[in-house]
Amino acid sequence: MVSLLCSRSVQDIRSTDTVRLSYDEEEYSQMATLTKSDIRKLRKKKARLKRKLKCRFCSGGVIPRPVYVDYKDIKSLRQLIDREGKIQPRRRTGTSAIYQRAVRRAVLRARFMGLLPYVVDE
């Protein structure tokens, strides 16, 4: 269980020394002794601890009026579109419902104006 650290060389580490493992190494050493059901439970727990998504358009949780997403802002619209050219769902981007409808309108308008492609080139 002796780990090599950046600050210590192999010669400095003796067999009697105990070196604290990094978090990844500890997790890896535990993974070798876990069963499939334990691994499944850990993955579910990790999925639940996922960061809560926030709407990028709502400042401070307040929906400003009028609700408008600029169709000329291609940089922000490209973040809301996947590599196939489809608009990403709310659960993926964290956009609120009212702004998701505005994003849809903006993407359709940008496509019509020729700013965004309908289909991705292969």
Question: pLDDT tens-digit profile of 37-66?
Answer: 888 888 888 777 777 788 888 888 788 888
- pLDDT tens digits, residue range 93-107? 999 999 999 999 999
Domains of the chain from N-terminus onward = 1-50 (no CATH), 52-122 (4.10.640.10)
Q: How big is the chain, counted in residues? A: 122
Tokens of 13: 């580490």
Buried b / exposed e across 66-100, counting CB within 10 Å, b at 16+? eeebebeeeeebeebbeeeeebeeeeebbbbeebb
Q: What φ, ψ does residue 29 adopt, rounded to 5°? A: -70, -30
Burial status of residue 111 (CB atoms within 10 A of its CB: 0-12, 13-18, 19 or more): middle
